[in-house]
Structure 1
Amino acid sequence: MARAVNTSRKSLNTAIAATLGLIMFFPVLWILILSFKSEIDAVRSPWQVLTAGWTMESYGAVQERSDYFKHFMNSVTISLGSTFLGLLIAIPAAWAMAFVPAKRTKDVLMWMLSTKMLPPVGVLVPIYLIFRNLGILDTRSGLVIVLMLMNLPIIIWMLYTYFREIPGEILEAARMDGASLREEVLYVLTPMAIPGMASTVLLNIILSWNEAFWTLNLTAAQAAPLTAFIASYSSPEGLFYAKLSAASIMAIAPILIMGWFSQKQLVRGLTFGAVK
């Protein structure tokens, strides 16, 4: 009897989870459907949209109007560059906070995290002026820097959490064997934190890829990523729903595919140290 109740509860939980998953995924599914419709059909009622004919003309129009590959490469460069630069800074910082005793480590971590609570628009004007004066406005390097700074608190927090799970005795043994600080970080600490570092990299690539505020305000044409590519289909003449949907699918498809194939690694890294 207990087993039957347990099975029923599992079935109910599965049904609830599937329903919530469908609700969360439905906007993406509807955008996918609209991308295969004509502009006339895309503004009709939902039933008329579903029964209308399917066409690839929106994808063809998007490809003719915009240089998708250029925007795609900008997104790849900015996402990977900001994540890699963030790791170079975050690994030593997280190591120092995790293994060098300090009274105010948690206060520093909370201060860093509090910077994420500041509305980006509050610092837009000074950052815009700094970038203009330095000549890095509308450049990939400029976006790499600003996205790295934006995600750096998250990178340090995640790495700090993973590093704290590594026994300090292992590092002490490496020091006794004559390992230098550089060798300790590169050959002892980093390999042991690979699952956590992998999830950190994946999460920050996703955050950088989806960032819209800074990419729309600090770029014009040369360094515009896929977020700007999508925004270009909102014009004073109105919204072209079918073309906007096609552009959105082309922009989110790479990151969705990457997230799908790396979901196990992402979940494993995010739950690292949660169960002892």
Structure 2
Amino acid sequence: MARKISNRRKIIMTVLAWSIGFLIFFPILWTIILSFKTEGDAIKTPLQVLSSHWTFESYALVQERSNYFRHFMNSVIISFGSVILALVIGIPSAWAMAFVPGKGTKNVLMWMLSTKMMPAVGVLIPIYLMFRDWGLLDTRTGLIIVLCLMNLPIVIWMLYTYFKEIPSEILEAARMDGAGLRSEILYVLTPMAVPGIASTLLLNVILSWNEAFWTLNLTAAKAAPLTAFIAAYSSPEGLFYAKLSAASTLAIAPILILGWFSQKQLVRGLTFGAVK
């Protein structure tokens, strides 16, 4: 029997949820507001900022100083390229761990997850030297490889969880019908796990899009994504709040739009297998 919830409790929970949501979103909202102000207005008190003149001046100056669309294309290619490469590696790996388990499967999964616990700066020097010697510094290919390796543990963990929810009897039936390993993964397993694969792709695209440490240390100009585009507006002379806010808004707008339109798919994938 379902537990009855009073209208008063519904109202309180709704107000609390909206309040927490607004509190989390407020820094982004304030950044967007500052992006439509001049440098002089951006450093005023909040009430003065809201009542000051709104202008696109900062956006014009940012575009004049930097090539936004070049950085944007670098971010798109690097983010989606690294995640697609991680999925190509992660789907067969997760399949093997989910349907051909061994005694060491859990240990391997824990070892992969433990690599995310190490500070990235701990391996910066060897990776930088390898990229320098192999000609991968300031290249999209180099960033795709390093971001793929960075997100691969998360990709495999998520896919492993989704694959474990698929009944093994379905795969056994496919084998009895003559499906080989390649056909089993491509035509049986992958279509059934589309929600999980989609949510894995979306989540890791967001992680790759927002990655700043590796993009700032392994790029200079040619392959610099939007994270480097934002960092260009922080200088020893100080922060240019309006221009920095405009650059930040331009950088986060695409991923906010993507997240907004794909939120149902993301939630569906993250809850895949939760209800039987």
TM-score, L = length of structure 1: 0.98
Alpha-carbon offset, residue 126 of structure 1: 0.6
State the AA in 2 paired with 1:230.
I
Match in the other structure for 1:99: 99
Structure 2 partner of 1:206:
206
For residues 50-107 of structure 1, the C-alpha deviation after alignment (integer angstroms, 9 at most, x for no partner) is 1111111000000000000000000000001001100010000000000003011111
State the match for 2:74 in structure 1: 74
List aligned pairs for 1:1-276, cutoff 5 A.
Answer: 6-276=6-276
Separation in structure 2 between the aligned mates of residue 182 and residue 51 of structure 1, nearest angstrom: 62
Q: CA deviation at 1:10?
A: 1.1
SS at match of 1:275: coil
Write the distance in 2 (CA, Å) between the matches of 1:171 and 1:6. Answer: 47
Q: What CA distance in whole angstroms lies between the structure 2 residues aligned with 1:78 and 1:268?
A: 26
Aligned partner of residue 122 in structure 1, secondary structure: helix
Q: What is the rounded CA distance, in whole Å, between the counterparts of 1:179 and 1:23 in structure 2?
A: 52
Aligned residue identity for 1:52: S
**Distance (whole Å) between structure 1 residues aligned to residue 29 and residue 66 of structure 2:** 23
The one-character-per-residue Cα deviations of 1:142-185 (angstroms, maximum 9, x if unpaired) are: 00000000000000000000000010011111111111100000
Measure, in 1, the Cα distance between the counterparts of 2:66 and 2:237.
17
State, as a whole percentage, how many aligned pairs show the same letter: 74
The alpha-carbon deviation at position 273 of structure 1 amounts to 1.2
Number of positions where the alignment pairs a residue of Structure 1 with one of Structure 2: 274
Cα distance in 2 between the residues matched to 1:274 and 1:173: 24
Distance 1:101 1:127 in 2: 32
Cα deviation, residue 7, structure 1? 1.4
The one-letter code matched in structure 2 to 1:71 is H
Distance 2:114 2:221 in 1: 32
- Aligned-residue RMSD, C-alpha: 0.9
Partner Cα distance (1:106, 1:59) in 2: 50
Deviations, residues 5-63 of structure 1 (Å, cap 9, x unaligned): 62111111110000000100000110011001000010111111111111110000000
Q: Report SS of the residue matched to 2:230.
A: helix
Question: TM-score scaled by structure 2?
Answer: 0.98
Q: Give the Cα–Cα distance (whole angstroms) in 1 for the partners of residues 63 and 177 of structure 2.
A: 59
Question: What letter is aligned with 1:239?
Answer: L
Letter in 2 for 1:158: M
Structure 2 unaligned regions, length at least 5: none
Secondary structure of the corresponding residue to residue 33 of structure 2: helix
Q: SS where residue 220 of structure 1 aligns?
A: coil
Q: How much does 1:238 deviate? A: 1.2
Structure 1 residue runs without a partner (length 5+): none
Q: Which amino acid aligns with 1:150?
A: M
Q: Secondary structure of 1:137's partner?
A: coil
In 2: Cα distance, 1:39 partner to 1:180 partner: 63
Distance 2:257 2:101 in 1: 41
